[in-house]
Chains A and B, each alone.
Chain A
Amino acid sequence: MDFRLSEDLQLWRETVHEFTDNEVAPYDEAMDRANDLPWDIIHKMSDAGMFGIPYPEEYGGSDMGSLAGAITIEELARGSASIALTLDAHWLATDPIHLFGTDEQKKKYLPDLVSGKKIGAFALTEPGAGSDAAGIISTAVRDGDHWILNGTKAWITNGGAAEVYVIAVKTDKTKGARGISTFIVEKGTPGFSIGKKEDKMGCRGSVTTELILDNCRIPESNLLGKEGEGFKIAMVALDFGRTCIGAMGVGTARSAMEKAAAYANQRHAFGAPIARLQAIQFKIADMAMGIEAARFMVYHAAWKRDQGQRYSHEAAMAKVFGSEVAMKACREGIQIFGGNGYSRDYPLERYLRDAKLLEIGEGASEVLRMVVGMNMLKEFA
């Protein structure tokens, strides 16, 4: 067993780290206040080849693998959860096209998504169906060689910013999960519009909107995968998404720990830096242990995917654990900062608001615990 990253991955990690320090982190506060996606950073990420990390060279990617993808997300999240989330959501749409698309679909959509020239978004959640994903009520009805899509999607990251949407709808209302199909819908298609933009608690530098489908006509050639395969496609996309959310947790927790440790070293109380107090040392130690454990879980999930193995179980665990490590690190980081931690003059409160998303999006902790728990119980039945 070798815990070292390859030289390529080390160099890539350093590159993203440096990129994040120079091009991302200094703007995180401003994008939080502006409540908008900073396109200039997205363009720089595109120039730096970040969008194409896990995809083949034939579509313009670098084929560095899912582990490199997770590392990219982790390092970006160290500077801005919003930016990392934007890339994660982009991959949520790119991944199913790569894995389930026809040659024509791949040739048509992947080059622009892999280069980052176009942003992608993935839409499953609806106002009435989040954790209960099979309970969606948006529909697609066949009309000759077209499908007519109707319904409303909610909480769609990259909504409005994206040009390419992978949307899951019911093609057979009589069935649950097996009645779902996914379609590729392009921005600007008649009947497809961007709804309300959410005024979120955190990750405000990423955009989240509703999507509205109103008799939107989509050609048969834009059905992604087979009819009725949509739920499976969504779950496969979410496996990688959850791995990336775990990586975001690691990056966010690292940032919280770095800031809290630096503060503890320079903040004096009782005649010495508070870093000398055991209460502070214990908090930092818990953060460090959480980060280490979460990182191994995330990397293991990504590694399994790179080996072509099933990894839904590991992705779910990495997501729950990583997001909770991030929340705890931010909460305790604020405690170390004391009153200053509660102020917007310091970044910790923003990190906390960002981290909260990680426990909810792409599978809430409770639902994923059900998945992990049931897997274990089945194994020992």
Chain B
Amino acid sequence: MHIVVCIKQVPKTLDVRVDPVTHNLIREGIESTINMFDENALEEAFLLREKFGGKVSVISMGPPQVREALRKALAMGADEAYLLCDPSLGGADVLATAYTLAQGIKKLQPVDLILCGRHAVDADTGQVGPELAEQLGWQQVTMVKRLECDGSKITAWRECEEGTAVWELPFPAVVTVGKEINKPRYPTPIGIIRSGKKQITTWCADDLDADEDKIGLAGSPTRVIRMFSPERTSHVEMLTGENEEVARQLVAKLREHKIQL
């Protein structure tokens, strides 16, 4: 089984500042890590490899420093790593990102399964996984909290608001996973040493045979117009009266604000 895991390098802290002019996250001087849910995707890929054999390839699009994230994925146990890196890929929105990843993954065929995190914790869109499936014309399930494969089909337990939906789908497919699915392993010392000897293959836009109108800023139909921190206000209201009456008022207030009891 050949599993491709898509990862994104994100800032380690969520306490990031937004550039007031470009509306992008200010990444300079901020330590980075692999997006939390993508580590779950990696772990799930390793578990499937332990069961069915095959290999796990990890792929990411981004600037050269994404090498660090790919290196960690290799240390955790990935077999191969690919970085899609080119100035012309910069400024990509989710559509252009999904297109670019799809172009990269096409070069890795045959691929049986693509695993992604349910969303990236920095931008929170959760779009790249689903759009990647559309680009490739594959079946998909998102927000999966349990995954089973029997070699011919995939069974996925999907987190829904009111419960769990169980889906069956054929290979090849795209599955995005949440943190409930597993506990990602730590890189082992031996894994770290071995990963240092592995190559990280870098592909530029030309290597991807990409349509230049579909990549980077040019291929991005959406623009971030404004980004701001939500205003935080606090409102204090004193409830008075007998204990029972105060309790009743409190419950009513909580219900009014849709706070589950």
Segment with Cβ contacts to B, from A12-20, A73-81, A165-173, A367-375: A12-20
A289 cross-chain contacts in B, Cβ below 8 A: none
Pick from A14, A18, A62: contact of B189, CB under 8 Å: A62
CB pair A8–B186 under 8 Å, yes or no, is: no
**Within 8 Å of chain B (Cβ to Cβ): is A103?**
no
Contacts of A8 in B (CB 8 A): 192-193, 196
* Binding-face segment, A47-55, A105-113, A203-211: A47-55
Cross-chain contact A49 with B71 (CB below 8 angstroms)? no
Asked if residues B187 and A11 are in contact (CB atoms below 8 Å), the reply is yes
- Contacts A7-B71, A11-B71 given; indicate if A52 touches B189 (C-beta within 8 A): yes
Contact residues of A between 1 and 55, Cβ < 8 Å to B: 7-8, 11-12, 14-15, 18-19, 48-50, 52-53
**A interface footprint on B35-67 (CB within 8 Å = 1, 0 otherwise):** 000000000000000000000000000000000
Q: Taking the complex as formed, is A64 at the interface, i.e. its CB lies under 8 A from any CB of chain B?
A: yes
CB neighbours of A52 from chain B (8 A):
189
Is there an interface contact between A15 and B186, defined as CB atoms closer than 8 Å? yes
B224 neighbours in A (Cβ, 8 Å): none
Tell me, in angstroms, the Cα distance from A60 to B187 when the chains sit together: 16
Q: Is the CB of B196 within 8 A of A49?
A: no
Question: Contact at B186–A62, with CB atoms within 8 Å?
Answer: no
Q: Which of B151-208 contact A (CB under 8 A)?
A: 186-190, 192-193, 195-196
**If the complex has contacts A7-B71, A11-B72, A11-B75, are A48 and B188 also in contact, measured as CB distance less than 8 A?**
yes
Inter-chain contact A11/B186, CB cutoff 8 Å: no
Residues of A within 8 A of B72 (CB): 11, 14
CB closest residue in chain A, given B72: A11
Query: Taking chain A's interface residues, is the majority helix, strand, or loop, or is none over half, making it mixed?
Result: helix
Contact B71–A53 (Cβ < 8 Å): no
Q: Please tell me if the beta carbons of A53 and B196 are within 8 angstroms of each other in the complex.
A: no
- Minimum Cβ distance to chain A for residue B219 (Å): 33
- Chain B contact-residue range equals 10 to 19
Q: In the complex, how many residues of chain A place their beta carbon closer than 8 angstroms to a beta carbon of chain B?
A: 18
Separation of A68 and B193 alpha carbons in the complex (Å): 12
- Report the bound CA distance from A64 to B190 in whole Å: 9
Q: Could you tell me the distance between the alpha carbons of A361 and B52 in the complex, rounded to whole angstroms?
A: 51
Say which residue of B190, B192, B193, B196 sits within 8 Å of A15 (CB atoms).
B192
Bitwise, B72-89 to A at CB < 8 A (1) or not (0) is: 100100000000000000
Bound complex: CA of A53 vs CA of B195, how far in Å? Answer: 16
Find chain A residues with CB under 8 A from B192 CB. 8, 11-12, 15, 62, 64
Q: Which partner residue on chain B sits nearest A60 by CB separation?
A: B190
Cβ-defined contact, A7 with B196, below 8 A: yes
Query: When the two chains form their complex, are residues A49 and B193 in contact, meaning their CB atoms are under 8 A apart?
Result: no
The complex places the Cα of A223 from the Cα of B17 at a distance, in Å, of 62
A64 and B186 contacting across the interface, CB-CB below 8 Å: no
A62, chain B: closest CB distance, angstroms: 3
CA distance A52 to B190 in the complex (A): 10
* Contact between chains at B186 and A53 (CB < 8 Å): no
User: CA–CA, A14 to B186, complex, Å?
Assistant: 10
Instruction: Report A-chain residues with C-beta under 8 Å of the C-beta of B189.
Output: 12, 49-50, 52-53, 62, 64, 68
- CB nearest neighbor in B for A57: B190
Structural contact, A15 and B71, CB atoms closer than 8 A: no
Q: Which residue of B lies closest to A68 (CB)?
A: B189
Q: Closest residue of chain B to A10, judged by CB?
A: B68
A-chain residues with CB within 8 Å of residue B190 when the two chains form the complex: 49, 57, 62
Q: Which of B75, B187, B192 has the most CB of A within 10 A?
A: B192
Closest residue to A9 on the B side, CB-wise? B192
| CA gap between A18 and B188 in the complex, in Å | 13
Residues of chain B within 8 A (CB-CB) of A7 are: 71, 196
What residues on A are CB-neighbors of B186 within 8 Å?
15, 18-19, 48
Docked complex Cα distance between A7 and B71 (Å): 9
B191 — nearest CB in chain A belongs to which residue? A49
What chain A residues lie within 8 Å of B75 (beta carbons)?
A: 11, 15
Nearest chain-A residue to B187 (Cβ)?
A: A15
The chain B residue with its CB closest to the CB of A16 is B186
Tell me which residues across on chain B come within 8 A of A63, comparing CB atoms.
Answer: 193
Q: Select from chain B the residue with minimum beta-carbon distance to A12.
A: B192
Could you show 7 A-B contacts with beta carbons less than 8 Å apart? Answer: A7-B196, A11-B72, A11-B192, A12-B187, A12-B192, A15-B75, A64-B193
- New A-B pairs, 13, CB < 8 Å, besides A48-B188, A57-B190: A7-B71, A11-B71, A11-B187, A11-B195, A12-B189, A12-B192, A15-B187, A48-B186, A49-B190, A50-B189, A53-B189, A62-B188, A64-B193
- 10 shortest interchain CB distances as A-B pairs: A62-B189, A49-B188, A49-B189, A15-B187, A11-B192, A62-B190, A48-B186, A15-B186, A8-B192, A8-B196
